[in-house]
A and B are shown apart, each in its own frame.
Chain A
Amino acid sequence: MLSNLGNLILFITIFISFSIIYFSIVNLKDEKSVLKKNIYQLCLIQCTLIILTFFILVSAFITSDFSLITVYQNSHTLKPLLYKISGTWGNHEGSLLLWLIILTIFSFLFLVYNSSHPKNYRLYTLITQNFLILGFLFFLIFNSNPFSLLSPTPKEGLGLNPILQDPALAIHPPLLYVGFVGSSIYFSAAISSMLTNYAGKPFAQSIKNWVLISWSFQTIGILAGSIWAYYELGWGGFWFWDPVENASLLPWFAMTALFHSIMVLEKRELFYFWVIILCIMTFILSVTGTFLVRSGILNSVHTFANDPSRGLYILLFLSFLIFSSIFILFRKFQVSNYKINSNSKETFVLINNWFMIFYLISVLIGTVYPIFTEVLTNHKVSVGPPFYNTVIIPLVVLFLIFMSIGPNIRWINNNNINLNLLLKIFFASILINYLIIYFFKSYSLLSNFIIISSIFLIISTFLDLYKSLNKRSFNLSRLTSHLAFGFMVFFIGLNHNFSFEKDFNLKLGEKKEFEDYTIEFENINLEEFKNYKSVIGKFNINNNSKDLNLVLSPEIRIYENPSTLTYEASIRSGLMKDYYITMSNIDRSEFYNIKFQKKPFMIWIWISVIFISLGGLMRLFKNEKKNY
């Protein structure tokens, strides 16, 4: 029943998408008329139907309808309701439906909110977006159908991977998808802009809010993934340079470069083709990420269970996107001779873009390099954190310094940079860094540079804020994001240098003493929950010199469906530091392996990223007030 209904609606949506394209083309030819009402209506019906299909799938998950293969493979009757629902997008088929929801919602909203822009520009955007929608609809129906039936219907499902049963991961995909699937709308707008020659400031104004929305959600989506990795993977880290993580970071770099360049296009009518390239690149990188994750071409422990035909389809679709975009770009591209003063805001935005593109290329090379070596030399390699840390981190220092100076530079021609002030900030940063070392401990030369440059950015931004408050005109969104970025790097730097880790074996009732800490393994309990059993340890952590006395309870969970063991960290988060403990081994009579960690300023890293994203949303509301 649900299967038939779902499939029927998907087929109707195909028909509607073709109708939107048809009516848009008809409307294009009619130069005098305005955008036809039936196109709005069709777009509204299209996105309503896709949302309805999604709810049908959600209801199949809630009611544990195992006649659907997707539900059978990813759910179980004993699973809590939240994870039954999040199971809808915790698999390949369901997540593609989420792709379609975002493609159609953005398509409809772009049409509604950009009514002040020319009809043809909006129609071409709509046509391009509907080609994308059709591409994904065909993929969904004929290759990855979430409504495929299983006969005879099993009584029980296989269950969702336990490590995916987590609140942060339940919201991580939808947030991330708004980010990178949202970039489809400015990809379509860029193609439309070239086809209709609708360039310059109006084009920048038509896409900038969409870029901000996708960038803010992408940022917060990456954060949700990192928080999940931090407490669920049980290693205490939050970024592993895994191909799947990199796939979410690549469009983020392109988006960051893009919304900085849009400012220049809006203010100075410069960089039009560069903005176009970035729009195209962002969406292409999003699809490339999907290809890398879904096709199984890369060996990542995060990848979805795969099927080569899926990879082939996405690759074909990706090639179509790349080559059609290149074709249009080659036809429309005009060389422009920009005369930009080297001491101007435009130059600093360009510098920001160079950095972003450098990071993007480095991460892209690191991510796809194993594919190239395997194909070209038949040799398997893996690119790990040392590559990224060596290539990316040193340049962060320079990036932060440019980021501190850039916002205060004027458009067109800046008279003078206040070197005196910069030197004072620089020495203040060195002094603060020295105080940290003096009172706590010393760290590597590179860490010194990172921390000094992040303090440099923080002080500069605070001074900006102070000056802006005096002038009563300030760009709060930019100040928030930049300040939060400075703090994020600062706290990551401190976290990296001041984290402490101790690995040891303990028996029940034993104590372990090291430095000023005493860790006592006091008790162990076996508890039964709805969909798992849990071995819960009770550990007393004492530190006499700091008057610390806390109890942490890490768990070993035994899930039956599918049969898996997970190690759940017990974390006490504080303003200054997190205490983090994991245990492994389920045999009562033997030793338990204990990993104890002290991670300073973790909460401040999360808060900083939230504020980086918030800056984007604040700008969005500010733009709304201006009535773009």
Chain B
Amino acid sequence: MKKRIIKTSITIFFLFITLVFLIGLNKSSIYDTKDLVGKQLKNIELDNFNENKILRESDLKKNDFLLINFWASWCGPCRREHPTLLKLNRINNLTILGVNFKDKKENAKKFLNELGNPYDILAKDELGKDSVYFGIYGIPESILVDKDLTVIKKFVGPISKNEFNYIVKTVEK
């Protein structure tokens, strides 16, 4: 009897693990960049940069469009991209969320003090783990989403002139 209980428990234990893995597989995780367009970002939880607070979807729906920009103070191209973001900040109806990626807080602050702050909302991803959910594999990268947080377009590398024009056109349409 005792033997049977042990055997059943072990089998149930492994069945449970297999089931969890199976459900985990079917969870909608966005890892692949190419599949991102048209998908809705869900269950967003980002650490607020300045306060000990979590940013969720509701915090990001203030305007019709949201541009999520992943950046770091140590990243050269981010510095080059910065003036473009400052220009984008002047557009109405567009919120810019900056996600500070694998950075030190003091360096990030210094960076923004030196070059200006284009971000309406600031979040941080110190370990670079949260950014993986947005399909980020390098920085700078940006994602343009609409009010429902559906991805319109993804920009890999610094936002170019054409991409800047695309964002302006989309938001002002």
Residues of A near any B CB (own CB < 8 A)? 291, 295-297, 299-301, 303, 305-306, 308, 311-312, 315, 318-319, 322-323, 326, 330, 371-372, 374-376, 378, 380, 382, 384, 503, 556, 563-565, 584-587, 590, 592-593, 595
Q: Which residues of A contact B80 (CB under 8 A)?
A: 586-587
Contact B24 A382 (CB under 8 A): no
By beta carbon, the residue of chain A nearest B4 is A330
Q: Which residues of B contact A556 (CB under 8 A)?
A: 76
Contact A296 B29 (CB under 8 A): yes
Knowing A299-B132, A300-B132, A380-B45 are in contact, say whether A375-B20 is a contact too (CB < 8 A).
Answer: yes
B73 contacts the other chain (Cβ, under 8 Å)? yes
By beta carbon, the residue of chain B nearest A235 is B102
Contact A503 B76 (CB under 8 A): no
| Interface-centre pick from B7, B26, B45, B76 (highest chain A CB count, 10 A) | B76
Give Cα A181–Cα B156 distance, bound, in whole angstroms: 37
26 A-B pairs (CB sep. < 8 Å): A295-B25, A297-B24, A299-B29, A299-B133, A300-B132, A306-B32, A311-B25, A312-B22, A315-B25, A330-B7, A371-B20, A374-B24, A375-B20, A375-B24, A376-B20, A378-B43, A380-B130, A382-B127, A503-B107, A556-B76, A563-B156, A565-B138, A586-B80, A593-B73, A593-B74, A593-B76
Q: Which residues of B contact A323 (CB under 8 A)?
A: 11, 14
Using A299-B129, A305-B31 as known contacts, list a sample of 16 further A-B pairs with CB atoms less than 8 Å apart, ordered by residue number in A.
A291-B21, A296-B32, A301-B137, A305-B32, A371-B21, A375-B20, A376-B20, A378-B43, A380-B43, A382-B127, A503-B74, A503-B107, A563-B156, A584-B76, A585-B75, A593-B107
By beta carbon, the residue of chain A nearest B18 is A319
What is the count of residue pairs linking A and B with beta-carbon distances less than 8 angstroms?
91
B90 contacts the other chain (Cβ, under 8 Å)? no
Q: Which residues of A contact B25 (CB under 8 A)?
A: 295, 297, 308, 311-312, 315
B27 contacts the other chain (Cβ, under 8 Å)? yes
Give Cα A326–Cα B157 distance, bound, in whole angstroms: 50
Q: Which residues of B contact A375 (CB under 8 A)?
A: 20, 23-24, 27
By beta carbon, the residue of chain B nearest A284 is B14
Knowing A300-B132, A315-B21, A380-B43 are in contact, say whether A585-B156 is a contact too (CB < 8 A).
Answer: no
| Interface-centre pick from B10, B20, B26, B74 (highest chain A CB count, 10 A) | B74
Q: Which residues of A contact B20 (CB under 8 A)?
A: 371-372, 375-376
- Per the 8 Å Cβ criterion, residues 154-173 of B in contact with A are 156-157
3 closest A-B pairs by CB: A585-B76, A299-B132, A382-B129
Q: Which residues of B contact A322 (CB under 8 A)?
A: 14, 18
Contact A563 B157 (CB under 8 A): yes
How far is the CB of A621 from the nearest CB of chain B, in Å? 39
Give Cα A388–Cα B77 distance, bound, in whole angstroms: 34
- Per the 8 Å Cβ criterion, residues 30-79 of B in contact with A are 31-32, 43, 45, 73-77, 79
B147 contacts the other chain (Cβ, under 8 Å)? no
Give Cα A372–Cα B27 distance, bound, in whole angstroms: 12
Give Cα A372–Cα B23 distance, bound, in whole angstroms: 10
Contact A587 B138 (CB under 8 A): no
How far is the CB of A357 from the nearest CB of chain B, in Å? 16
Q: Which residues of A contact B156 (CB under 8 A)?
A: 563
Q: Which residues of A contact B137 (CB under 8 A)?
A: 301
Q: Which residues of A contact B10 (CB under 8 A)?
A: 326
Contact B76 A308 (CB under 8 A): no
Contact of B27 among A303, A374, A592 (CB under 8 A): A374
Contact B22 A587 (CB under 8 A): no
By beta carbon, the residue of chain B nearest A379 is B45
| Interface-centre pick from A378, A380, A382, A564 (highest chain B CB count, 10 A) | A380
Q: Which residues of B contact A587 (CB under 8 A)?
A: 76, 79-80
Give Cα A323–Cα B27 distance, bound, in whole angstroms: 24
Give Cα A376–Cα B23 distance, bound, in whole angstroms: 9
- Per the 8 Å Cβ criterion, residues 79-111 of B in contact with A are 79-80, 104, 107
How far is the CB of A411 from the nearest CB of chain B, in Å? 31
How far is the CB of B156 from the nearest CB of chain A, in Å? 7
Give Cα A398–Cα B101 distance, bound, in whole angstroms: 38
Q: Which residues of B contact A584 (CB under 8 A)?
A: 74-76
Q: Which residues of A contact B31 (CB under 8 A)?
A: 296, 299, 303, 305-306
Q: Which residues of A contact B74 (CB under 8 A)?
A: 503, 584, 593, 595
Give Cα A311–Cα B22 distance, bound, in whole angstroms: 9
By beta carbon, the residue of chain B nearest A582 is B74
By beta carbon, the residue of chain B nearest A295 is B25
Contact of B127 among A305, A384, A595 (CB under 8 A): A384
Knowing A315-B25, A374-B24, A565-B138 are in contact, say whether A585-B79 is a contact too (CB < 8 A).
Answer: yes
How far is the CB of B77 from the nearest CB of chain A, in Å? 6
How far is the CB of A442 from the nearest CB of chain B, in Å? 26
By beta carbon, the residue of chain B nearest A299 is B132
Q: Which residues of A contact B79 (CB under 8 A)?
A: 585, 587, 590
Q: Which residues of B contact A592 (CB under 8 A)?
A: 76
Give Cα A410–Cα B20 distance, bound, in whole angstroms: 46
Give Cα A319–Cα B13 distance, bound, in whole angstroms: 12
Q: Which residues of A contact B130 (CB under 8 A)?
A: 380
Q: Which residues of B contact A593 (CB under 8 A)?
A: 73-74, 76, 107
Contact A586 B77 (CB under 8 A): yes
By beta carbon, the residue of chain A nearest B16 is A372
By beta carbon, the residue of chain B nearest A319 is B18
Give Cα A375–Cα B79 distance, bound, in whole angstroms: 39
How far is the CB of B132 from the nearest CB of chain A, in Å? 4
Q: Which residues of A contact B32 (CB under 8 A)?
A: 296, 305-306
Q: Which residues of B contact A565 (CB under 8 A)?
A: 76-77, 138
How far is the CB of B78 from the nearest CB of chain A, in Å? 9
Give Cα A378–Cα B29 distance, bound, in whole angstroms: 12
How far is the CB of B145 from the nearest CB of chain A, in Å? 19
How far is the CB of A449 from the nearest CB of chain B, in Å? 28
